[in-house]
């Protein structure tokens, strides 16, 4: 995409917080609700003599993510120390992976405005989080609950060319880690943090421009806005003949702009070296095969299957696979109803609308997929009309009762007995002789009035198709 004759080159680093019960190198809890410094032990605050031991679950989650991103998994990766001083870094170094990361050379494919885009994944490496500094005017308090939280840093290649692509890339990564159930993807709680590297160059220029890093953006909308701002800012600067300074910037959501945090002159020499307290992380073939087998069907493959096997339109398939739980819900409904498109319609309209209004997640839906499927099957069998179904659905949503029970209790069964309908039709026609005459004189519009009257008389339970058919016969 061209911006005033320039092209944007964007790469994104996403810190994925792995949703393990304990920290990456200690048994300390990772719960978000804990009180200040409650989730700490001598290990996570780096007390003298304490040593790290790798959390197996964090390794499993990292490998699964790597596999889902099509990465090669290193059979022997190495934890390194990244040395720097900051009060919220308890040991004076962060344990991370440096020249031998666990996952490398993957890619992810997604669609932006209907066009397919593939972004390469350079690497995904394991590391520990630091604590959190809380600045209060002239003093600072530090909460080490975050120190040692396991992170997987997913680093993309410089393949992204627009803010929309950047946001969609980030959404796709979030979608994948949520599918894998290795991260809750909660941006507000910092479970997913995006750093964007942005540079601009003249269209066609093979060389990269100087890149600027925008750190810690906490929403996908801001990713888009921050990059948009940054592209314009950098082009303006280049056009004015200024040099772009390699620096780290932050996004100010109130002012809709990025601002400088530190320049490269302040850049640290991290003095990386292999952590002598941790042996190289070795991963066996058996482990990889095991984890590969445990991988769920990923969103893109699942959407494709829904289109092929369920004959769903692309739009439906995409919406239904945005989240694993939603796709599971749809699939269970469809299995019960045996009507794919009707199941898709009900889930996408009624269920999603009610959930949104009630601010609930699909997992908490009071209507279970099996119940919804049964109800759809009842429509197909003619047991209830589409209109009655709406009433049944509302009742299910309120009470959680089985659809058959609701229909029975409320007497909502559709009348499909032609004799019974004929009787009602005859009664209606007898009571409206004037209208019958008008109809016979050619005022065909009155037909609708008869249908309405029959439905009313049957309390909406008459099978509308039969009503139509019988009315037409009687009015001949």
CB of 138 to another protein, least distance (A): 4
User: x-or-dash pattern for another protein, window 40-69, by CB under 8 A?
Assistant: --x--xxxxxxxxxx---------------
Closest distance to another protein from the beta carbon of 130 (Å): 12
- 261 versus 298: smaller Cβ distance to another protein: 261
Part in contact with another protein (CB under 8 A); list of ranges 77-85, 194-202, 206-214, 224-232: 77-85
Nearer to another protein, 271 or 335 (CB): 271
Give me the least distance between CB of 102 and another protein, in Å please.
16
With CB under 8 A as the contact rule, the residue among 64, 81, 125, 161 that binds another protein is 81
Q: Does 141 bind another protein (CB under 8 A)?
A: no
From the list 116, 138, 188, 357, which residue makes contact with another protein (rule: CB under 8 A)? 138
- The smaller minimum CB distance to another protein, of residues 42 and 382, is found at 42
Candidate residues 5, 273, 290, 443; the one interacting with another protein per rule CB under 8 A: 273
**Residue 278 within binding range of another protein, rule CB under 8 A:** yes
How many residues sit in the footprint of another protein (CB under 8 A)? 31
How far is Cα 464 from Cα 389, in angstroms, rounded to an integer?
14
Considering beta carbons, is residue 51 or 311 the nearer one to another protein? Answer: 51
Spell out, one character per residue from 83 to 102, where the chain touches another protein: x when CB under 8 A holds, - when not.
x-xxx--xxxx---------
Range in contact with another protein (rule: CB under 8 A) among 82-90, 291-299, 379-387, 438-446: 82-90
Cβ-based nearer residue to another protein, 146 or 310: 146
d(CA 312, CA 297): 17
Applying CB under 8 A, which part among 138-146, 159-167, 331-339, 440-448 lies near another protein? 138-146
User: CB 281 → another protein: shortest distance, Å?
Assistant: 10
Instruction: Point out which residues bind another protein (CB under 8 A).
Output: 42, 45-54, 81, 83, 85-87, 90-93, 138-139, 142, 269, 271-273, 276-279
């Amino acid at each position: 995409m061209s911006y005033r004759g320039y092209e944007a080159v964007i790469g994104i680093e996403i810190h994925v917080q792995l949703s393990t019960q304990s920290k990456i190198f200690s048994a300390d809890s990772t719960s978000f609700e804990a009180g200040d410094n409650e989730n700490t032990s001598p290990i996570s605050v780096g007390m003298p003599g304490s040593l790290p031991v790798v959390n197996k679950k964090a390794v499993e989650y990292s490998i699964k993510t790597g596999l889902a991103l099509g990465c090669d998994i290193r059979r022997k990766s190495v934890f390194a120390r990244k040395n720097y001083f900051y009060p919220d870094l308890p040991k004076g170094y962060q344990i991370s992976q440096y020249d031998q990361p666990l996952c490398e050379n993957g890619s992810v494919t997604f669609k932006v405005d209907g066009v397919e885009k593939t972004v390469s994944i350079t690497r995904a490496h394991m590391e520990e989080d630091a604590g959190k500094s809380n600045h209060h005017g002239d003093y600072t308090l530090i909460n080490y609950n975050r120190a040692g939280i396991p992170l997987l840093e997913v680093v993309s290649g410089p393949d992204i060319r627009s803010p929309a692509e950047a946001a969609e890339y980030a959404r796709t990564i979030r979608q994948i880690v949520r599918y894998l159930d290795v991260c809750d993807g909660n941006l507000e709680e910092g479970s997913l943090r995006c750093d964007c590297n942005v540079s601009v160059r003249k269209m066609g220029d093979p060389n990269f421009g100087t890149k600027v890093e925008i750190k810690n953006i906490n929403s996908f909308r801001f990713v888009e806005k921050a990059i948009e701002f940054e592209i314009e800012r950098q082009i303006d600067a280049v056009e004015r003949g200024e040099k772009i300074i390699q620096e780290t910037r932050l996004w100010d959501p109130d002012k809709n702009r990025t601002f400088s945090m530190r320049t490269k002159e302040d850049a640290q020499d991290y003095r990386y070296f292999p952590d002598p307290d941790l042996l190289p992380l070795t991963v066996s073939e058996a482990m990889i095969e095991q984890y590969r087998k445990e991988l769920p069907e990923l969103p893109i493959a699942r959407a494709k299957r829904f289109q092929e096997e369920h004959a769903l339109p692309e739009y439906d398939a995409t919406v239904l696979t945005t989240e694993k739980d939603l796709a599971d819900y749809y699939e269970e409904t469809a299995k019960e109803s045996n009507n794919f498109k009707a199941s898709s319609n009900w889930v996408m309209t009624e269920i999603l609308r009610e959930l949104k209004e009630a601010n609930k997640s699909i997992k908490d839906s009071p209507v279970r997929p099996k119940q919804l499927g049964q109800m759809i099957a009842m429509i197909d069998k003619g047991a209830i009309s589409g209109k009655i179904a709406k009433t049944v659905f509302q009742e299910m949503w309120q009470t959680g009762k089985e659809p058959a029970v609701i229909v029975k209790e409320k007497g909502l069964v559709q009348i499909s007995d032609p004799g019974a309908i004929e009787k009602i039709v005859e009664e209606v026609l007898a009571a409206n002789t004037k209208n019958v005459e008008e109809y016979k004189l050619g005022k065909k519009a009155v037909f609708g009035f008869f249908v309405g009257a029959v439905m009313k008389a049957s309390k909406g339970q008459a099978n509308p198709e039969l009503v139509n058919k019988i009315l037409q016969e009687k009015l001949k």
